[in-house]
Structure 1
Amino acid sequence: MLIDSHCHLDFPDFAEERDAVVARARAAGVQRMITISTKIDQFPSISALAEAYADVFCTVGDHPEYADEGAEATLDRLVELAQHPKCVGIGETGLDYHHDRTPRDKADRVFRTHIAAARQTGLPVVIHARDADADVAAVLKDEMGKGPFKGLLHCFTSSPMLAEAALSLGLYISFSGVLTFKKSDELREIARAVPLDRLLVETDAPFLAPVPHRGRRNEPAFVAATAEVLAGLKDLTADRLAAETSANALRLFDRMPPPDVARGEAA
């Protein structure tokens, strides 16, 4: 079994063939997909998509690129929407100094609000970090001091420092197709060092298709290619790596039931 812990099935890239995309994922052994919220105002459509497929779950939150659009995500609103039975996480949230579209003081405030929602609901926070390693690490350390919360750094492409900081706080790290790219030697060294019980895999589809699919629109079925590379780095069989990362995902996203107990799921 594989779990794509981070994709965006609600994006228009999939609108014309979403059923086929989900079917191809199932055929590739992907038994769970988490479609990640980037705009809290779009949660009704994201949750409806999760309701339409037994093996698709969702999160609620505002991506840091969009946190300055529309009404600011409040703690009460995040907690309220997170009660949806197929919502398994908070985010994605974090800091993005590459695009830098949200004033940094507001981005920091919104990030902390999402963490507070994760703390209150018990759901994990899904963290986006781009060109902001020191500030992300500082926020995580400060917020963990206010009370424990669960979370993961998604699509990890950051520094060893941020990986070590996250692991020291008990967080998880997820790798995407970037791990398979030719110039990602440093990232592969980081992945090799991450403990097996803290690893997840993802696609971030429709972005960042792994080798040998690079250059195409990414989709959940392609998570198998990333998992294969990660298995090689950890000196494991592909089946063992799939089992371990799936167990980690189910432990972290613990509102998401294992496939054999999901109500209404096709055999």
Structure 2
Amino acid sequence: MIDFHCHLDLYPDPRAVLDGIDARGTYVLAVTTTPKAWRGTTKLVGDRKRVRVALGLHPEVVAQRHQEVALLCGLLPETRYVGEIGLDGSPAHRQSLELQVKVFERILSECSRLGGRLISIHSRGAASRVLDALDLHPGAGTPILHWFSGTTRELERAVSLGCWFSIGPAMLRSKRGRELASAMPLDRVLTETDAPFTRVGDDPLMPWQAYDCLAGLEEVRGIDRIELGKLVADNLRRAVQIEPELSPV
């Protein structure tokens, strides 16, 4: 099982979630919303071989915390994984979009200078602007568009730019999400939860529930969910090929 985008530090009891991850052998990318949270989450995770912590500055907090981009860039040499970063053009955050773009492009530029990173990217309401920035910084690394919700044309452009995609159970609950998932290149798809923000009833999804989306993916792609699980595992191996201990066996 692979959860390539969850907010481990925002669960009510992250240590209990880590125990569950260990017990089930789940592979996890724990994204952070601020660079200050990266240090604490990294310490919390410790030396667990199946969990990595991504260094992030979420676009929803950029208006208040944009100064922390300097801290993020200073920490970048310490990690291969970046996220959650990106742009949010939804009504609640549209006023800060130009500031978000400056922060996002600075991070991408630094990633490029350091030889590239695996980057989990938020693009809600701003897919075209995200793709514009990626086009300007082709050496930034491997962009993985988390819960992509753009247009079909934007999806086609993202594919042409070499983007990957992480999809989860919540995305496949909507007709639009299923339509997009049906058109994504399967050799660039990973699974995610975006938990604890995503829920089943009153309970947050757990990282080991990321593969719950495979039933919906089976419906829209006509491929058995077991085969899809193998494909996702192969994709993770390729994405982290220089770090074999994170690759599923």
Task: Specify if TM > 0.5.
Answer: yes
Q: Which runs of 5+ in 2 are unaligned?
A: none
SS at match of 1:90: strand
1:83 is matched with: 77
Deviations 1:13-62 (A, max 9, x none): 332xx3432343455x5531110011012221021123253321111120
What is the Cα deviation at residue 127 of structure 1? 1.0
2:210 is matched with: 223
- What code does the residue aligned with 2:16 have? A
What is the Cα deviation at residue 259 of structure 1? 5.0
User: Contact (CA 8 Å) 2:236, 2:247: kept in 1 or not?
Assistant: no
**Whole-angstrom CA distance in 2 between matches of 1:260 and 1:137:** 28
User: Contact (CA 8 Å) 1:3, 1:30: kept in 2 or not?
Assistant: no
Deviations 1:89-117 (A, max 9, x none): 11211111223176222110111112123
Q: Alignment length, in residue pairs?
A: 246
1:247 to 224, 229, 234: 234
1:108 is matched with: 101
**Whole-angstrom CA distance in 1 between matches of 2:110 and 2:39:** 18
- TM-score where L is the length of structure 1: 0.81
SS at match of 2:123: strand
**Whole-angstrom CA distance in 2 between matches of 1:250 and 1:14:** 31
2:62 to 49, 67, 77: 67
User: Contact (CA 8 Å) 1:14, 1:21: kept in 2 or not?
Assistant: no
User: Contact (CA 8 Å) 2:189, 2:232: kept in 1 or not?
Assistant: yes
Counting only pairs closer than 5 Å after superposition, residues 139-150 of structure 1 correspond to structure 2 as: 139-144=133-138, 147=139, 149-150=141-142
User: Contact (CA 8 Å) 1:176, 1:203: kept in 2 or not?
Assistant: yes
Q: Which runs of 5+ in 1 are unaligned?
A: 263-267
- TM-score where L is the length of structure 2: 0.87
Deviations 1:165-189 (A, max 9, x none): 11101110111222331xx122212
2:4 is matched with: 5
1:152 to 134, 144, 156: 144
User: Contact (CA 8 Å) 2:124, 2:148: kept in 1 or not?
Assistant: no
Percent sequence identity over aligned pairs: 27
| Bigger proportion of residues as helix | 2
1:200 is matched with: 190
Q: Which moved more, 1:123-132 or 1:113-122?
A: 113-122
SS at match of 2:99: helix
Name the CA shift for 1:239/1:26 in 2 (closer, same or farther; >3 Å): farther
Alignment partner of 1:21 is 2:17? yes
SS at match of 1:6: strand
Deviations 1:214-236 (A, max 9, x none): 44212212112112322332222
The runs of 4+ residues in structure 1 deviating greater than 4 Å are: 259-262
- What code does the residue aligned with 2:137 have? E
